[in-house]
Amino acid sequence: MTRSRFGSWAEAGLGPGFFGGFAMVEQPPALVEPELLVGLGTVVSRWSYVDMFMAEFLSFLLQANPGFMYVVTANVSASTVSDWIRTLLQARHIPNEPPEEIMSLLVDIDRIRGERNALVHGLWRPHVTGSALVQTVRWNRSEIVKDEVVTRADLDDLITNIGEVMGKLLGLGERYGFPVPSYVSEFLATPEGLLLTKAFMRINEPKLRRRIALPAPRRRAAFPVRNGVARV
């Protein structure tokens, strides 16, 4: 780390432990109770499956090459993937799946993602036994930066909610044939798969990247178009 030319914060005219309008943490925070960290870790690991199923759902709606779609979805935000799915659902008809139910599921996923992100990216420090004080950032409330008391019960509730949306996504996948077989992810983890991913990201023309990710012609007729909207 580059050291300031000032000998102390006071000499810099900033005051002790203060920089750029934000309080600085001068000492590493004390350890949070292990049980809470286990709960937080479970939230992180479970949510990774939600992100995976959302990427697979997007690939299904586009009838795109799942391997290339992993490269695309890994380089955009999860909320962008949700928005893409919403847009595609206006043009695609999924037999026997009421669109309002899927839209409601996407609302739940966005809400739970916001809770997950606030805790995962929050600043955790010990509080009373069985809880932690977490400084969270939520843009959908009047007090954007706020301290919240989080207990293991709170984390368990979040884990349960994640499990519910994950189960609904899994149900969609089982009915319509996604996620893709494990050999796709296994291939992407090989040296050849990594080279393919790097080569794809070196393509500067967005239209060309999208064309590569589109499905082979033999798969395009498998999905009906709603209200005459052209295929994406």
**Residue 75 in domain:** yes
Quick check: is 194 in a domain?
A: yes
Number of domains in the chain: 1
Burial class (CB in 10 A: 0-12, 13-18, 19+), 162: buried
Supply the range of the domain harboring residue 92.
Answer: 30-108+156-213
7 belongs to a structural domain: no
Is 151 part of any domain? Answer: no
Q: Is residue 192 part of a domain?
A: yes
Which residues of the chain, if any, have pLDDT below 50?
1-21, 213-226, 228-232
Phi, psi torsion values for 24, nearest 5 degrees: -100, 140
Give the helix/strand (H/E) hosting 172: helix 152-176
User: Computed over its alpha carbons, how large is the radius of gyration of the chain?
Assistant: 22
Domain membership flag for residue 221: no
- pLDDT tens column, 39-60: 999 999 899 889 988 988 998 8
Instruction: Return the percentage of the chain with pLDDT > 90, whole number.
Output: 32
Q: Shortest CA distance to 22 belongs to which of 132, 152, 123, 170?
A: 123
pLDDT at 184: 54
Q: How far apart are CA 195 and CA 203, in angstroms?
A: 13
Please report the pLDDT score of residue 6 as a whole number. Answer: 42
Q: What percentage of the chain exceeds 70 in pLDDT?
A: 65
From CA 43, how far away is CA 156, in angstroms rounded? 9
C-alpha torsion sign, points 71, 52, 170, 78:
negative
Query: What local confidence, expressed as pLDDT, does residue 4 receive?
Result: 43
Residue 70 in any domain: the answer is: yes
Residue 57 in domain = yes
